[in-house]
């Protein structure tokens, strides 16, 4: 029992609530939620969202907290030990391995995203993306070059800056984990969560005092919350709502179980779980709705909001919002506040998700905290390297699909079945209410036992079948193009409605934009390596690009020449929008030469490398518990033998 008494504990109930809320509140609350709502029926999205909250979010939150406190009673802070206590079967600990492999895999890519926010906070403070040599920075290119997602070098000579901020972010996370639960995670939450709420309030007030732009704040709110009930008949809307609930509440990571393991026997988990959900939903639904999308509507106009929302969470946060913030006074302050807000939201989540891995090494392997932190930090850094260097090949998206999407459903399904059917719902219900300050409505007994596991199984099969049907498991090449010298232009390059005429190009080329991309991708798959092309172009009076010459790998030239590239760009609406000064002299703008780079990346070998890394992590965490439990059994036999030895010696042979 001495070992159990030495386990860490939370310094205060308030600190626990803040830490649990910090674990749940992340980038997804402020960026992913408004993007999902905007793309899936606006106000109508809240119907499947609330249904998912009641059928998945709350039940799994209570299940996680109950399992965690139960496991902590026996000195287990991670799911291999917890599951082994709940189900006396050799397979239990191996099922629990998912609850430490997923968190580590999630952290490998999530902390990279977290480091972007830290980097952009610095860029905002220094005004780095405000302008360069008097010219507006093209923020999409700025982000791509920062991440090494393109070979152009207009703003960054390489992605050394991204590597630097990534290393700093990982070290900060490991340092907090090294400090422990009370002096590390809880202290961080007590600082970061109030700061997060304060930053949200400051930005909301700022957004509502910007006045009028091309649109208004109310245009954004109207777009976001105008219900499209017709979308409710679309299956993907319900899947998106369920996925958002899992992502935003950190359900299925094993981190909530770990947090609850540091509670005492009679510490409440029913109210604590409910409070965590309430805090998360307040940040997500209120602040997530009032900042990014309304700001974009104000600056870009209501007609541009659908396209911005469809561009994805990262585009909203790292491209659209900087564009808004730098266009009004106070970028150094408000831009820094915005990205520090995102950083703190991500930071509290990443340390929370990583804590189960630390707890596993401390509680099961019996390593001291410094040694555990060193091992976790080493695994973290080594595992992040492929994400850094192969981001352009889709390494981050691949991990997000398996560890941040499908894996959560799989683990939640296992956990719900274990809790309701193997451990026993009656026993689990009593455990949930031990020391509880509230009574959970009895209807959730039926939800936990039947509804949640059944729907989780349906979602898992649905996602998997959809992935097979759409060939999502087969890596495809990524094809893109970029202006090599974009920093030298005062205006900016954009995509819009198709500019090409309806008739075919010279030579009878009548391919669509998608067919051009498919043809280039097919060549990449045929030669199994990256392909590049370089074009010299001029800007016409109407903004479209006239290709004067095009050189590329001979394989690429088999499917694309100068005329075809020009038609392709026009079909995608790629054009130049001059600055106000250039509009007064359009002829000058038209004479400007443009260097264009075509990049076709062969993603397959790198995607398979990421998958091998994932399998390697899972295999390692299968081997380690096997060795630990085997050693534990041997020591137990030796103790029994030692205890029986003296008595046995007195018996004559």
The C-alpha atoms of residue 103 and residue 355 are separated, in whole angstroms, by 9
Answer whether residue 282 shows pLDDT above 50: yes
Indicate the length of the chain as a whole number.
653
Q: 144-155, pLDDT tens digit by residue?
A: 999 999 999 999
Q: Confidence class of residue 1 from pLDDT cuts 50, 70 and 90?
A: very low
Q: 558-567, pLDDT tens digit by residue?
A: 999 999 999 9
Say what the pLDDT of residue 2 is: 39
The C-alpha atoms of residue 94 and residue 106 are separated, in whole angstroms, by 19
The closest alpha carbon to 562, from 538, 586, 527, belongs to 538
* Residue pair 285/57 in contact by the 8 Å Cβ criterion: no
- Please state the rounded mean pLDDT for residues 521-542: 95
Answer whether residue 452 shows pLDDT above 80: yes
Q: 3-state DSSP: the chain helix, strand, coil percent, rounded to 5?
A: 70, 5, 25
The helix (H) or strand (E) run that includes residue 596 is strand 593-601
Say what the pLDDT of residue 328 is: 86
Q: Which of 359-363, 462-466, 561-565, 610-614 has the least mean pLDDT?
A: 462-466
More confident residue, 163 or 492: 163
- Please state the rounded mean pLDDT for residues 339-359: 97
- Please state the rounded mean pLDDT for residues 374-398: 95
Say what the pLDDT of residue 505 is: 62
Q: Confidence class of residue 575 from pLDDT cuts 50, 70 and 90?
A: very high
The C-alpha atoms of residue 350 and residue 111 are separated, in whole angstroms, by 7
Q: Which of 461-475, 539-553, 570-584 has the least mean pLDDT?
A: 461-475
Answer whether residue 236 shows pLDDT above 50: yes
Distances (CA, A) of 49 to 56, 132, 203, 205, 230: 10, 43, 25, 27, 15
59 alpha carbon, distance to own chain's centre: 23
More confident residue, 510 or 149: 149
Q: 21-79, pLDDT tens digit by residue?
A: 999 999 989 998 998 888 888 888 999 999 999 999 999 999 999 999 999 999 999 99
Name all domains of the chain by residue range, CATH numbers in brackets.
2-473 (1.10.4160), 478-499+513-602 (no CATH)
Paired tokens of 586: 């359009």
């Amino acid at each position: 029992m001495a070992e159990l008494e030495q386990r860490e504990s939370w310094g205060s109930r308030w600190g626990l609530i803040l830490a649990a809320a910090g674990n749940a509140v992340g980038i997804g609350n402020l960026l992913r939620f408004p993007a999902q709502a905007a793309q899936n029926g606006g106000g109508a999205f809240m119907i499947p969202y609330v249904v998912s909250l009641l059928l998945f979010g709350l039940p799994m939150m209570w299940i996680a907290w109950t399992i965690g406190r139960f496991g902590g009673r026996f000195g287990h802070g991670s799911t291999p030990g917890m599951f082994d206590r709940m189900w006396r079967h050799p397979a239990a600990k191996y099922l629990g391995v998912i609850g430490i492999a997923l968190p580590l895999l999630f952290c490998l890519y999530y902390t990279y995203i977290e480091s972007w926010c830290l980097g952009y906070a610095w860029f905002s403070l220094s005004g780095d993306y405000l302008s360069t040599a008097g010219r507006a920075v093209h923020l999409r290119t700025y982000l791509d070059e920062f991440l090494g997602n393109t070979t152009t070098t207009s703003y960054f000579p390489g992605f050394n800056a991204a590597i630097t901020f990534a290393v700093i972010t990982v070290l900060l996370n490991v340092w907090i984990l090294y400090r422990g639960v009370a002096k590390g995670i809880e202290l961080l939450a007590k600082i970061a969560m109030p700061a997060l709420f304060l930053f949200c309030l400051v930005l909301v007030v700022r957004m509502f005092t910007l006045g009028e732009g091309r649109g208004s704040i109310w245009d954004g709110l109207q777009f976001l919350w105008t219900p499209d009930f017709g979308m409710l008949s679309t299956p993907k809307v319900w899947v998106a709502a369920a996925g958002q609930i899992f992502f935003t509440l950190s359900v299925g990571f094993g981190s909530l179980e770990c947090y609850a393991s540091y509670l005492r026997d009679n510490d409440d988990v029913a109210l604590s779980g409910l409070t965590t959900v309430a805090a998360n939903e307040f940040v997500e639904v209120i602040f997530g709705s009032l900042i990014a999308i309304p700001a974009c509507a104000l600056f870009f106009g209501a007609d541009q909001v659908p396209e911005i929302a469809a561009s994805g969470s990262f585009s909203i946060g790292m491209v659209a919002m900087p564009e808004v913030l730098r266009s009004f006074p106070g970028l150094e302050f408000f831009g820094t506040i915005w990205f520090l807000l995102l950083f703190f939201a991500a930071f509290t989540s990443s340390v929370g998700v990583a804590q189960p891995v630390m707890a596993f090494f401390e509680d099961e392997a019996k390593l001291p905290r410094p040694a555990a932190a060193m091992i976790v930090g080493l695994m973290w850094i080594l595992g992040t390297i492929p994400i850094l260097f192969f981001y352009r090949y889709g390494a981050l998206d691949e991990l997000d699909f398996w560890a941040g999407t499908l894996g959560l459903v799989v683990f939640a399904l296992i956990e719900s079945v274990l809790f309701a059917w193997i451990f026993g719902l009656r026993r689990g219900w009593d455990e949930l209410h031990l020391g509880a300050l509230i009574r959970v409505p009895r209807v959730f007994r039926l939800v936990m036992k039947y509804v949640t596991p059944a729907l989780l199984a349906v979602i898992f099969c649905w996602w998997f079948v959809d992935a097979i049907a759409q060939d999502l498991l087969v890596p495809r090449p990524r094809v893109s193009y970029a202006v090599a010298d974009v920093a030298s232009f005062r205006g900016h390059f954009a995509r819009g409605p198709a500019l090409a005429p309806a008739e075919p190009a010279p030579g009878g080329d009548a391919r669509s934009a998608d067919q051009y991309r498919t043809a280039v991708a097919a060549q990449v798959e045929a030669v199994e390596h990256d392909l590049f092309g370089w074009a010299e172009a001029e800007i016409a009076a109407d903004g479209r690009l006239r290709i004067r010459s095009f050189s590329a790998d001979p394989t690429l030239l088999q499917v694309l020449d100068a005329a075809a590239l020009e038609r392709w760009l026009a079909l995608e609406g790629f054009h130049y929008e001059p600055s106000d000064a250039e509009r007064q002299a359009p002829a000058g703008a038209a004479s400007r030469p443009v260097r264009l780079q075509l990049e076709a990346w062969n993603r397959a070998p790198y995607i398979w490398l990421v998958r091998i890394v994932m399998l390697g992590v899972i295999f390692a965490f299968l081997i380690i518990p096997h060795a630990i439990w085997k050693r534990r059994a041997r020591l137990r036999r030796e103790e029994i033998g030692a205890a029986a030895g003296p008595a046995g010696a007195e018996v004559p042979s």
